[in-house]
Amino acid sequence: MKNNLDSGPLRHFRMGRRAVLQSLATGVGAAVFASSASAADHAHHAAAAAATGAANATNVDSSLQFLDQHAFETLTALSEQIVPGSRAAQIPEFLDRLLAVESRDTQQHFMQALGAFEREARAVNGMPWKALTAEQATALLTKISTQPDSDVSRQAFDRIKGAVSESYYSTEVGLKELGWDGSIAFAPPSVCG
């Protein structure tokens, strides 16, 4: 029988102890976003911004559950670039809510993957991913997606792509894109028992 942790769009970010140690040894643990992986840190920063009434807090989406505004905007740009229509299907919001209830390890792995994209964008173009033009983003995604499987950026791409595409193609619009016409209803899992 399959464990619940083995399914869902964020399963790509769940790693065993050995994989975690290997990734830390190769430098993945030093991701740009790694420090913001803690939901408690996010809550603390959001509360501090609200308490101070800072001018930049006016642009913060207060509905975010886990991601900070920068990470959310990065995920939004990546989602739309990887699976067009993801923004309209609210995939970034869904993943934000899902991350809020995930384990700390899964949260950290997700943030490390976002950090890999951020590092690539800054190294190649000197700006954050969310500020890239469509042409710059396409060029970087092409470069990253064609790297060897052992490349850290390629692994980040595969994980983010997996989470975004699985989430998108589980929505009504995604299912219709795959050819579903609404005429078939599947039995609930309890019937399959």
Q: φ and ψ at 182, to 5 degrees? A: 85, 0
- Asked if 108 and 34 count as a contact pair (C-beta separation under 8 A), the reply is yes
> Which one is predicted more confidently, 176 or 8?
176
Q: Which two tokens stand for residue 165?
A: 């595409």
How many of the other CB atoms lie within 10 Å of CB of 57? Answer: 16
Letter for the amino acid at 107?
Q
Pairwise CA distance, residues 26 & 28, whole Å: 6
Give me the mean pLDDT over the 157-169 stretch: 93
- Asked if 160 and 82 count as a contact pair (C-beta separation under 8 A), the reply is yes
Q: What is the pLDDT of residues 91-134, one digit of tens each?
A: 999 999 999 999 999 999 999 999 999 999 999 999 999 999 99
Q: What is the Cα Rg of the chain in Å? A: 18
pTM of the model: 0.68
> Which one is predicted more confidently, 57 or 184?
184
Residues 133, 91, 184: CA angle, nearest 5 degrees: 130
